[in-house]
């Protein structure tokens, strides 16, 4: 699935991933392939992901929103 993390300064990350851990407003949650569509607010915290090749990455955010739809995860953050 495609993960895009964008901010007012531009693209922070874009790539194919196996899973994404997001800091949801109520609790952290994981998105995997074929996840049901959703829109959620995000709190300050860490976005952690596992890339297609098995490598892992993370990015600290101060909050934002995420949209999950059709195996695409788009995070808008500051």
Q: Do 66 and 19 meet the contact criterion of CB atoms below 8 Å apart? A: no
The answer to whether residue 76 is domain-embedded is no
The answer to whether residue 75 is domain-embedded is no
Residue-range definition of the domain harbouring residue 15 = 2-68
The answer to whether residue 74 is domain-embedded is no
| 8's tokens | 């007012």
pLDDT digits (tens), the chain, 78 positions? 999 999 999 999 999 999 999 999 999 999 999 999 999 999 999 999 999 999 999 999 999 999 999 999 999 998
What integer pLDDT is reported at residue 66 of this predicted model?
A: 98
Task: Give the CATH number for residue 18.
Answer: 2.60.15.10
**All residues at 6 or more sequence positions from 20 whose CB lies less than 8 Å from its CB, including other chains:** 3, 30, 31, 47, 48, 49, 73
What integer pLDDT is reported at residue 42 of this predicted model?
A: 98
The answer to whether residue 62 is domain-embedded is yes
The answer to whether residue 33 is domain-embedded is yes
| 1's tokens | 């699935």
Question: Which of 52, 32, 51, 31 minimizes the C-alpha distance to 42?
Answer: 31
Q: How many domains does the chain have?
A: 1
């Amino acid at each position: 699935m495609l993960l895009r993390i964008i901010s007012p300064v531009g693209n922070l990350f874009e790539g194919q991933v196996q899973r994404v851990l997001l800091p949801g407003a109520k609790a952290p949650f994981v998105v995997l392939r074929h996840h049901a569509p959703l829109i959620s607010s995000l709190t300050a915290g860490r976005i952690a992901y596992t890339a297609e090749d098995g490598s892992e990455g993370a990015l600290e955010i101060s909050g934002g929103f995420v949209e999950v739809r059709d195996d695409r995860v788009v995070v808008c953050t500051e």
